[in-house]
Amino acid sequence: MKSALKDIEDITERDEGALDLLKKRLLWAAGLVILFLVIIILRLWFLQISNGEEYEKRAYGNRVRIRQLNPPRGHILDRNNREMVTNRPSFNVALIQEDSEDLGNVLKRIAPVLDMDVAELWEKIRQASDTPRYLPVLLKEDIDWQTLAYLENHNHEFSGIRTEVQPVRVYHYEDLAANIIGYLGSISKQELETADKAIYRGGDIIGKKGLEKLREADLRGEKGHSYSEVDAKGFEQQLLKTVEPLPGRQIRLTLDVDLQQIAESYMTAGEKSGAVVAMEVKTGRLLVAVSAPTIHINDFVGGISTEKWQALLDNPKHPLINKVVQASYPPGSTYKMVTALAGLAKGVIDNDTVFYCPGHYTFGNRRYRCWKHSGHGPVNLLKAIGESCDVYFYQVGQKVGVDGLAEYAEKLGLGKKTGIEMEYEKSGLAPTKKWKEKYRNAKWQDGETLSVAIGQGFNLVTPLQMCSMTATLANGGKLYRPQLVEQVIDSEGRIIEAFSPELVSEITGLDQYFNSIKRGMEEVIQGKRGTARSVAIEGLRIAGKTGTAQVVKVAQYRGLKEEDIPYKYRDHGWFTCYAPAEDPEIAVTVLVEHGLHGGSGAGPIAKAVLNQYFSGRLKQVVVE
């Protein structure tokens, strides 16, 4: 056996030569194979080790679609837990471009389902050209149940198309307190730039006005996300995990729906423009905050049309302005309480000081008229407030001086913002000599003090300030910050924030003066010649004051009946009051723009609010 093998080996050795040369070239082939093996291993190293993490991310991005789950926005309740604003689910149709195959055909097929034109759909996609391809482009909002059911059942026919749930607001009392609650809208580019990117992204719905904006952080909740695995065609294979959205916090307002409704219905019925504010005297809780005319909140759902927006801007009654705080007016005679308090506190008058009113008062070389041209005769403080005698207050004001008036105006909360949770609050104005020099670049004229004393000069007051002042008078000098939010409750029922009265300042040691003024204010309603006798409610002691704020002094309209004066030149009517006089609970202020005299234009509305507020407690409800 061995020898046989040996023989063969010898034979092959002899045969070598040419075959050997050929076999030598096999080494080159082996070299080639090694070279490519090394290249392949290096390439694998590059792909899997050097760039492995990067490719892993790309593989993840390939297969995982993160879907935003919008949280239901916090509900808004009234003080008695009545739901004012809640949500309902709405279903939107969106397109994920990245997942879409054969987009042209998909759009052609889905257009009739959505009852839209193909061109319209393309336009939406074109408009969203900034949107990254993996984010949804909204094609149609709030589709009906049938469309939803069809799309869900035929989802494999529409690659890249999906339906999303978006909670939308439901307004249970329609436009009630619309200017206070505000509305929602899509986040704008500017808002997005400054917003926290971790919270907001394009297409989000956020609070645009009112409490919806101011309390955005409480109301919005936290978004949830679902992570689902998709195949190469974008169809979902399985849900990987879901982080449920956290519903927004509920906000319970201090407002009372019943009172608010009564006040709004009166304003609407009379097509009145103005504001109604009611406040708890001892806490600062706002019970009513009406701005009329109101915006129609449903116009804003899904974005307001240009025409409607323009109509709102052009409306002479300015529905976009929240007149509770965003408009200020001369206080008229309601300012006389300030003048009286300043006079008493400065010692220039007491309860028994009497001035004679012949119907006018001459100061310098000018004659200042009393509203009652025939004159009030001898007038003490009680009668001066009750019958609103201008001549009396001209003299008090003159003796106190404008700076003294301003000092007490400010103590009663005028001339500065109340700090209520409303946007663009005006501070109003309690004029001083310095103010005039600084802002009007002119010296104070003493005659101007007389106008200020009866509320007709430079003074400006917001309806909220007036109400706050009334409450401060009623409670004997405690100025509470008006507040709108009773409680903030999170989705698990925990109370995040609870109302507590916030005392801004307190006037002390002037109780007897307050009492004198308050007796005068009772005369306004209950006195024989009171200027607001029509507001009286049997069984309820009300204290109040009317006011008429001159809009312009135009000679041609002097002596005309108010009804004959063009609307925009008519005086504003104020009425402010509190009740019950013996133990005040509620202060109500009504301002009717161009609303004639306060007693006739504004009084009935305040009376209706009081009637409602005390309805359970009054033995007889006096109906007008």
Partner 1 sequence: MFRIDRRLFEHFDMVLLLLIFLVCIMAFFNLYSASFPNSGFGMPPYIRQAYFFLIGFAAFVFVVSFDYQELHSWNYPFYGLIILLLIIALVAGDSAGGAQRWINLGFFKLQPSEPAKLMLVVTLASYYSRKEINDGYAIKDLVIPVALTGIPFMLILLEPDLGTALMLGIIFVSMTVFVKLKMSTYGIMGGLAFAAGLLAWEKLLKPYQKQRIQTFLDPDQDPMGHGYQILQSKIAVGSGGKFGKGYLEGTQGHLHFLPERHTDFAFSVWGEEWGFAGSVIFIGTYFLLLFWGLNVAMYAKDRFGVLLAYGVVMLIFWQAVINLFMIMGFLPVVGIPLPLVSYGGSSLLTTMLGLGLLMNVRMRRFQAAMPRD
Catalytic residues: 333
Nearer to partner 1 (CB atom), residue 19 or residue 554: 19
Give the residue among 321, 433, 343, 429 at the shortest CA–CA distance from 392: 343
Can you give 222-244 as a three-state secondary structure string? ECEEEEEEECCCCCEEEEEEEEC
Nearer to partner 1, 59 or 552 (CB): 59
Which phi and psi angles does 290 have, rounded to 5°? -115, 130
Q: How far is the CB of 162 from partner 1 (least distance, A)?
A: 17
**Helix segments in 270-335, DSSP class H:** 306-314
Nearest CB to partner 1, comparing residues 19 and 239: 19
Q: How far is the CB of 16 from partner 1 (least distance, A)?
A: 11
Q: How far is the CB of 32 from partner 1 (least distance, A)?
A: 8
Contact footprint for partner 1 (CB under 8 A): 5, 8, 11-12, 15, 18-19, 21-23, 25-26, 29-30, 33, 36-37, 40-41, 43-45, 47-49, 51-56, 58-60, 62-63, 229-233, 237
Q: How far apart are CA 306 and CA 235, in angstroms?
A: 38
Comparison of 54 and 583: residue with beta carbon closer to partner 1: 54
CB of 27 to partner 1, least distance (A): 9
DSSP state of 568: G
User: Cβ of residue 106: shortest distance to partner 1, in angstroms?
Assistant: 15
DSSP for residue 443: P
Strands 76-77, 250-253: parallel, antiparallel or unpaired by DSSP? parallel
Looking at beta carbons only, is 147 or 226 nearer to partner 1? 226
Could you give the CA distance from residue 413 to residue 427 in angstroms, rounded to a whole number?
A: 10
Shortest distance in whole angstroms from residue 35 CB to partner 1: 10
Other Cβ atoms within 10 Å of 338 Cβ, number: 31
- Angle formed by the axes of helices 402-411 and 390-400, nearest 10°: 100
The answer to whether the CB of 281 falls within 8 A of the CB of 471 is yes
Q: Which residues pair with 290 in a beta bridge?
A: 276
Between 64 and 217, CB nearer to partner 1:
64
Return d(Cα 21, Cα 373) in angstroms, integer.
Answer: 137
CB of 161 to partner 1, least distance (A): 18
d(CA 241, CA 252): 34
Q: What are phi and psi of 51, to 5 degrees?
A: -115, 15
The residue type of 247 is P
User: Hunting for tokens 């004012």 — which residue is that?
Assistant: 84
Q: What is the DSSP string of 419-436?
A: --S-TT----B---HHHI
Residue 345's contacts (CB-CB under 8 Å, 6 or more residues apart) are: 408, 510, 513
- CA 210 to mean position of chain CA atoms: 0
Instruction: Give the nearest distance from C-beta 41 to partner 1 in angstroms.
Output: 6
Range list of H helices, 390-460 = 390-400, 402-411, 433-435, 446-453
Q: Is 136 helix (H, G, I), strand (E, B) or coil?
A: strand
336-346 vs 463-474: helix crossing angle, rounded to 10: 40
Amino acid at 277: V
Which run of H or E residues covers position 573?
strand 572-579
Pick the closer one to partner 1 by CB: 52 or 112: 52
Cβ nearer to partner 1, comparing 34 with 243 = 34
Nearer to partner 1, 46 or 439 (CB): 46
Question: Is 502:508 a contact under the CB 8 Å cutoff?
Answer: no
Closest residue by Cα to residue 521 from 509, 532, 510: 532
Q: Give the nearer residue to partner 1 in terms of CB position, either 59 or 503.
A: 59
**Minimum distance between the CB of residue 101 and partner 1, rounded to whole angstroms?**
9
Between 65 and 572, CB nearer to partner 1: 65
Structure token pair of residue 554: 């135009």
Judged by DSSP in three states, 549 sits in strand
CB of 8 to partner 1, least distance (A): 6
Find how far residue 367's CA is from the centre of its chain. Answer: 46
Q: Exposed e or buried b for every residue in 422-461, given b needs 16+ CB within 10 A?
A: beebeebbbbbbebbeeeeeeebeeebbbbbbbbbbbbbb
Angle between helix 402-411 and helix 336-346 axes, rounded to 10 deg: 110
> Min. distance of Cβ 239 from partner 1 in angstroms?
14
Q: Which of 67, 31, 79, 112 has its CA nearest to residue 203? A: 67
Helix (H) or strand (E) holding 53: helix 52-63
Nearest CB to partner 1, comparing residues 95 and 430: 95
At its nearest, how many Å lie between partner 1 and the CB of residue 136?
A: 20
